[in-house]
Amino acid sequence: AQSSVQLFGTVDLAARYVKNGDVKRTDLASNGNSTSRLGVRGVEDLGGGLKAGFWLEAAVNPDSGTADSSRFWGRRSTVSLMGDFGEVRLGRDKMPTQLAFEAYDVFGATGIADINTTYRVPSGITVAANSRADNAVQYFLPGNLNGVYGSLAVAAGEGVTGGKYMGGRLGWASGPVDVSVAYGQNEITDSDDFKRFVVGGSYDFQVVKVLANYQETKFQDQKDRHMTVGASVPFGVGEFKASYSKIDGRGGAIADRDADQFAIGYVHNLSKRTALYTTYAYIKNDGTANYVVADNGATSMTGRKSQGVDVGIRHSF
Amino acid sequence: AQSSVQLFGTVDLAARYVKNGDVKRTDLASNGNSTSRLGVRGVEDLGGGLKAGFWLEAAVNPDSGTADSSRFWGRRSTVSLMGDFGEVRLGRDKMPTQLAFEAYDVFGATGIADINTTYRVPSGITVAANSRADNAVQYFLPGNLNGVYGSLAVAAGEGVTGGKYMGGRLGWASGPVDVSVAYGQNEITDSDDFKRFVVGGSYDFQVVKVLANYQETKFQDQKDRHMTVGASVPFGVGEFKASYSKIDGRGGAIADRDADQFAIGYVHNLSKRTALYTTYAYIKNDGTANYVVADNGATSMTGRKSQGVDVGIRHSF
Amino acid sequence: AQSSVQLFGTVDLAARYVKNGDVKRTDLASNGNSTSRLGVRGVEDLGGGLKAGFWLEAAVNPDSGTADSSRFWGRRSTVSLMGDFGEVRLGRDKMPTQLAFEAYDVFGATGIADINTTYRVPSGITVAANSRADNAVQYFLPGNLNGVYGSLAVAAGEGVTGGKYMGGRLGWASGPVDVSVAYGQNEITDSDDFKRFVVGGSYDFQVVKVLANYQETKFQDQKDRHMTVGASVPFGVGEFKASYSKIDGRGGAIADRDADQFAIGYVHNLSKRTALYTTYAYIKNDGTANYVVADNGATSMTGRKSQGVDVGIRHSF
């Protein structure tokens, strides 16, 4: 059947100034507005409403020309069978809980304002299948359910700590509304799972779009909450954005680990594919929290402030 | 001259259950029906019957998104000059003895039924240029010799043990018949070579295609024989396959290292490019043999049984 | 806006014989005539004379199928904004001083005759941003300045020794003439820079093109000079080339480190994209100099001769 292989990607670079505690550094940084990547994908029409597709997507760090040294195609490497029933997707991919968490970040879960910068798995464990999972089978609902969407995923652990994952997301998007809820758990030991719950939504009032999400993670007695509200305001070919996150960590040996994250930004679209942007981000760490907007070589950030500003260009193809 | 650069590849993933001895594991595995890969190739017409071509082909493991970390373009990286005289090909490529060995495996030398799972170089040595060789010059006969085909290859060792290779394959394919013989040797020490001899053939009776091959390898007093018979039966858009191999190891410190390998499978073609498949494979190890259909973390497999079953999808582009 | 993504590259392989001191080796080598690579690039027209572009270019070693293991896209990974004002380019790229040094090497700065084989940074230091720089911002003059061309580059060190670079190149190319001058410096310590100055030019007399360049590098009391003269003579579809370099090292603990480099070659163009070539190169080391035309495993080359010859094919796409 008909072939349609597509080469696609993004190169995003910004001049960036980061001050973590007293340490200052100016550098050139990748991924301020969108994650730099290179991918190959295609869909084949098999007839009778059935389609097959593949997707290989590699991270690229254009500031230094590096690729992902541990997983070259680490962003996604999947094969799919699609039809009226929805989509069955096999391979490495982003998991439903992470998709739900990132969906309502007005900064697109990248750069110095990325809500992921203030999200960490509980201390003392590694969760291999946290944002993405190897060896996953994922089922997506079809697109004709009156705005209802969602997916269910399981990942085979294959002996890797936190690699065994099971989760799902259910949402509804219609007109200005988009809401979803997601839950997932990773096996850490035979008796203990890492659990993650996310609920979020957005409403587009045209003059302003507001977004909010709430996440709860749990492992043994460690219970962390991450709340974000954001807004974007279109302005001609541009867009103003602002976001605030509150991180609330409870339980565990280091109970006092709260933080506040605040960011504003402006994106100036030169075309659908190319944009200039600037972002300012700020994180205030309490107690033992040591989040940073970006690593700049500073150590011992416990309880200290981190802030940064960037000016960059994002080009997609 | 005219350019014709082509992006091509395969993504093949299967749910797989493997039991090695008492160890059981269910995982998602790459390459059950065809080896996952991504490549770029092209041919330029130079006029006067002369052509130049290149071929870069990378292994991909879509279950975890990894590439080949030691040789990114490890499947093939060549430049060729082609004409009435045949083809002269330079670079890294599969060697004639390996091509002959794999040619008559009804399972395409991949997955849990791969005949390579029961083929190993003699214990105590490494043979760098075993299946593929770096630094190779290969000459292929032209395509107009009434079905006679073949190649001669030499690889410069460049100081790597077993990297120096010299071998060739001669075959005849016409109508239902395909037979070939191959011989190759690798320099291990100044006085000792690793030698490999393969003869095989297939005959397509239409209702059934039968395949057989025989391989002998030799290093000092270690002499191993690998015999395979296989058959495939087309069935509408599908194909049933079965294969049996007998491994017979003689000489060396661990003389008793025989094994039997048996596999059946079914491939359901959704199109020329896309197929669903299932395979069952079984290996019986005698003495010190410890072959497995696939690694599942089990250790000390000496003399034990290995079996597995997979259900997967292969999509080429 | 309109997309124009292009896949491009080169595969260049040669049979090569190298004799360093008494050590001889025949191998298959990459990059005899042009550096093997694979790249993706594109330009988007943004309207109003403005353009955006990206360029990702990876080194390939087709003799063994390897990629650059430290920086996959190490040859270039940039995003650009272009217009009447010129070009602003962000990312990893070749620096102006290196561009100027290589511009007048008749052997294209690759293979056994590469002038880079006799260029080294002063002993005792590493210069991360020597030929290429990570984290660079480069500005190029527009193309409508009556033949005047040039660029200015700065690279953020980001804590890497010699990574902080600042340099520029100014040239004039018109009809048969091309001349340029370049200067750059890398911060090695707070008080000491590595400095590099290059001036060169070429004149095309049609029956012969002559090229010359002069380079001076300086770090503390080490001062090295590299002088090259070259010529190319077109001959039907072919081209004869010859080059001579004189290396003169002064100061530092090992003052006597001069060398002479001589090379001749012939390139036979089968098309614009494909060529056969042969090269002979010779290096004479004085004192403690230990340059080689190519590594062949020989050690202690101090004061010894190195020579090599290759016969190869280069195919671009």
Q: Sort out which chain A residues have CB atoms less than 8 A from C76's CB and list them.
A: 65
Residue B267 has pLDDT above 80, yes or no: yes
Q: B37-95 pLDDT, tens per residue?
A: 999 999 999 999 999 999 999 999 999 999 999 999 999 999 999 999 999 999 999 99
The pLDDT value given to residue A1: 45
The CATH number linked to A239 is 2.40.160.10
Q: Do C134 and A274 touch (CB under 8 A)?
A: no
**Is residue A1 in some structural domain?**
no
Percentage of chain A modeled with pLDDT above 70: 99
Would you state the torsion angle of the CA atoms of residues A29, A34, A35, A39, taken in this order, to the nearest 10 degrees? -130
Residue A54 C-alpha, separation from nearest chain C C-alpha, in angstroms: 20
Angle at A275 between CA C134 and CA A236, to 5 degrees: 160
Domain presence at residue C1: no
Strands A23-30 and C165-174 come out as unpaired
C-alpha neighbours within 13 Å on the C-beta side of residue B291: 30
* DSSP assignment of A21-53: TTEEEEEEEE-SSS--EEEEEEEEEEETTEEEE
> What local confidence, expressed as pLDDT, does residue C251 receive?
86
> Does any CB of chain C come closer than 8 Å to the CB of residue A189?
no
Mean pLDDT of A238-257: 90
Q: How far apart are CA B306 and CA C102, in angstroms?
A: 59
Q: How far apart are alpha carbons C174 and C143 in whole angstroms?
A: 12
SS3 C113: coil
What does the pLDDT read at residue C265?
98
Q: How far apart are the first and last CA of chain B?
A: 25
Partners of chain C (3+ Cβ pairs below 8 A): A, B
Q: Which chain B residues are closer than 8 Å to A72 by Cβ?
A: 65-67, 72
Q: Is residue B1 part of a domain?
A: no
A145 Cβ under 8 Å from any chain C Cβ: no
pLDDT at B123: 87
Q: How far is A294 from chain C (nearest CA, A)?
A: 13
Interface mutation vs chain A, best among C56, C70, C79, C160, most A CBs within 10 Å: C79
Phi/psi at C175 (5° precision) = 55, -125
Interface test with A, best of B6, B10, B56, B274 (most A CBs within 10 A): B274
Cα distance between residue B48 and residue C269, in whole Å: 14
How large is the C-alpha radius of gyration of chain B? 20
Give the contacts of C155 (CB within 8 A, at least 6 positions apart). A28, C95, C129, C133, C134, C135, C136, C137, C163, C164, C165, C166
Amino acid at B166: M
- Is B291:B259 a contact under the CB 8 Å cutoff? yes
Domain annotation covers residue A140: yes
Q: How far apart are CA C33 and CA B205, in angstroms?
A: 51
Q: Which chain A residue has its CA at the smallest distance from B11's CA?
A: A79
First to last CA, chain C: 26
Nearest partner of C224 among C75, C101, C56, judged by Cα? C101
C272/B1 CB distance under 8 A: yes
CA distance B160 to B252: 24
Report, as an integer, the average pLDDT of C180-195.
96
| Closest CA in chain C for residue B91 | C63
CA distance B142 to B150: 9
The Cα–Cα gap between C315 and B50 comes to 13
- Tokens representing C306? 């190195």
pLDDT class of C241 with cuts at 50, 70, 90: very high
Q: Say if residue B253's pLDDT is above 80.
A: no
Q: Measured between beta carbons, which residues in chain A are less than 8 angstroms from residue C91?
A: 11, 13, 28, 62-63, 65
Which chains have at least 3 CB atom pairs separated by less than 8 Å from chain B? A, C
Give the per-residue pLDDT at B1: 44
Contacts of A66 in chain C (CB under 8 A): 70-74
- Alpha-carbon distance C316 to C302, whole Å? 37
Instruction: Compute the nearest-CA separation of A314 from chain C (Å).
Output: 8
Q: Is residue B249 situated within a structural domain?
A: yes
Chain C partners of A57 at a C-beta cutoff of 8 Å? none
Which of C272, C223, C230, C274 has its CA nearest to residue C252? C223
User: Which residue does chain A place closest to B68, by CA atoms?
Assistant: A72
- Is residue C95 within 8 A of residue C37, CB to CB? The reply is no
Name the residue facing B137 among C28, C72, C273 (closest C-beta): C28
CB burial class (10 A; 0-12, 13-18, 19+) of residue C131? middle
Residue-wise pLDDT tens digits, C40-98: 999 999 999 999 999 999 999 999 999 999 999 999 999 999 999 999 999 999 999 99
Chain C residue numbers with beta carbons less than 8 Å from the beta carbon of A8 are: 5
pLDDT tens, position by position, B203-251: 999 999 999 999 999 999 999 999 999 999 999 999 999 999 999 998 8
Q: Given B7, B15, B315, which is nearest A40 (Cβ)?
A: B7
From A44's Cα to the closest Cα of chain B, the distance in A is 8
User: Cα(C236)–Cα(C233) distance, rounded to whole angstroms?
Assistant: 10
A 10 A CB-CB count for B153 gives: 24
* pLDDT digits 0-9 by tens, C89-128: 999 999 999 999 999 999 999 999 999 999 999 988 999 9
C208 CA to chain A: closest CA distance, Å? 38
CA distance C253 to A236: 64
Q: Does C7 touch chain B (CB under 8 A)?
A: yes
Nearest to B27 among A1, A79, A156 (CB): A156
The burial of A176, by beta-carbon neighbours within 10 Å (0-12 exposed, 13-18 middle, 19 or more buried), is given as exposed
**Does B193 reside within a domain?**
yes
Contact C76 A64 (CB under 8 A): no
Work out the average pLDDT over B114-137. Answer: 96
The whole-chain average pLDDT of chain C stands at 96
Q: CA torsion, points C56, C59, C60, C61, in degrees to nearest 10?
A: 180
> Does residue C3 surpass a pLDDT of 80?
no
* Gap between the Cα atoms of B34 and B10, Å rounded: 7
Residue A146's contacts (CB-CB under 8 Å, 6 or more residues apart) are: A174
Please give the residue of chain C at the shortest CA–CA distance from A18: C158
Tally of CB atoms within 10 A around A6: 12
Neighbours of A58 (CB within 10 A): 24
Least confident of A141-155, B175-189, C221-235, C243-257: C243-257
Structural domain count, chain B: 1
Among A13, A310, A311, the residue to mutate for chain C (most C Cβ within 10 A): A13
CB proximity A27 to C under 8 Å: yes
CA distances (Å), B86 to each of A242, B3, B80, B139, in order?
Answer: 65, 21, 10, 7
Q: Is B2 on the interface with C (CB under 8 A)?
A: no
Asked whether the beta carbons of B9 and B60 are under 8 A apart, the reply is: yes
Mean pLDDT of B142-155: 97
Confidence of residue A253 (pLDDT cuts 50, 70, 90): confident
Instruction: Kindly state whether A44 is in contact with chain B, defined as any CB-CB distance less than 8 angstroms.
Output: yes
Cβ distance of C90 and A66 shorter than 8 Å: no
Task: Provide the chain A residues 200-259 that lie in CB contact (below 8 A) with chain C.
Answer: none
B21, pLDDT greater than 70 = yes
| Residue environment code for C206-243, b if the CB has 16+ CB neighbours within 10 A, otherwise e | eeebebbbbbbbbbbebbbbbbbbbbbeeeeeebebbb
CB contact under 8 A, C313 and B52: yes
Task: Give me the pLDDT at residue B285, please.
Answer: 97
> pLDDT tier at A3 (50, 70, 90 boundaries)?
low
Q: Considering only the beta carbons, identify the residue of A26, A64, A67 that sits closest to C92.
A: A64
How far is the alpha carbon of A149 from chain C, nearest alpha carbon, in Å? Answer: 31
Residue A135 belongs to a domain: yes
User: Cβ–Cβ of B73/C63 closer than 8 Å?
Assistant: no
The closest CB to that of A273, out of C1, C92, C159, belongs to C1
3-state secondary structure chain B: CCCCCEEEEEEEEEEEEEEECCEEEEEEEECCCCCCEEEEEEEEEEECCEEEEEEEEEEEECCCCEECCCCCCCCEEEEEEEECCEEEEEEEEECHHHHHHHHCCCCCCCCCCCHHHHCCCCCCCCCCCCCEEEEEEEEECCCCCCCEEEEEEEECCCCCCCCCEEEEEEEEEECCEEEEEEEEEEECCCCCEEEEEEEEEEEECCCCEEEEEEEEEEECCEEEEEEEEEEEEEECCEEEEEEEEEEEEECCCCCCCCEEEEEEEEEEECCCCEEEEEEEEEEEECCCCCCCCCCCCCCCCCCCEEEEEEEEEEEEC
> How far A24 CA sits from the closest chain C CA (Å)?
11
Note whether C54 contacts A28, CB cutoff 8 Å.
no
Q: Which of C149, C38, C56 is nearest to C96 (CA)?
A: C149
Residue B252 domain boundaries: 6-316
d(CA B153, CA B165): 8
Secondary structure letter of residue C2 according to DSSP: -
pLDDT digits (tens, 9 = 90+) for C251-287: 887 778 999 999 999 999 999 999 999 999 999 999 9
- What does the alpha-carbon distance between residue A110 and residue A266 come to, in Å, rounded to a whole number? 14
Q: What is the mean pLDDT of chain A?
A: 96
> A13 to chain C nearest CA, in Å?
7
What is the spatial distance between Cα A134 and Cα B71, in angstroms, rounded to a whole number?
A: 22
Distance from CA of C42 to the nearest CA of B (A): 16
Q: What are the beta bridge partners of residue A63? A: none
B66 and B46 Cβ atoms separated by less than 8 Å: no
CB-based contact, A70 to chain B, within 8 Å: yes
Give the nearest chain C residue to A313 (CA atoms): C79
Whether pLDDT at A198 is above 70: yes
3-state secondary structure of A116: helix
CA atoms of C164 and C182, how far apart (whole Å): 17
Q: Is a pLDDT exceeding 50 seen at residue C1?
A: no
Residue C59 lies in a domain: yes
B8 touches chain C (CB under 8 A): no
Residues of A in contact with C42 (CB under 8 A): 317
Q: Residue B3: what pLDDT?
A: 58
- Do the Cβ atoms of C13 and B56 come within 8 Å? no
| A313 to C52: CB separation less than 8 angstroms, yes or no | yes
Answer yes or no: do A315 and C76 touch at CB < 8 A: no
Tell me, yes or no, if B135 comes closer than 8 A to chain C by beta carbon: yes
Under 8 Å between Cβ of B107 and B241:
yes
Terminal-to-terminal C-alpha distance of chain A: 25
Beta bridge partners of B311: B15, B278
Average pLDDT over residues A258-273: 97
Provide the 3-class DSSP secondary structure of residue A117: helix
Task: Pull the structure tokens for residue B14.
Answer: 């299967």
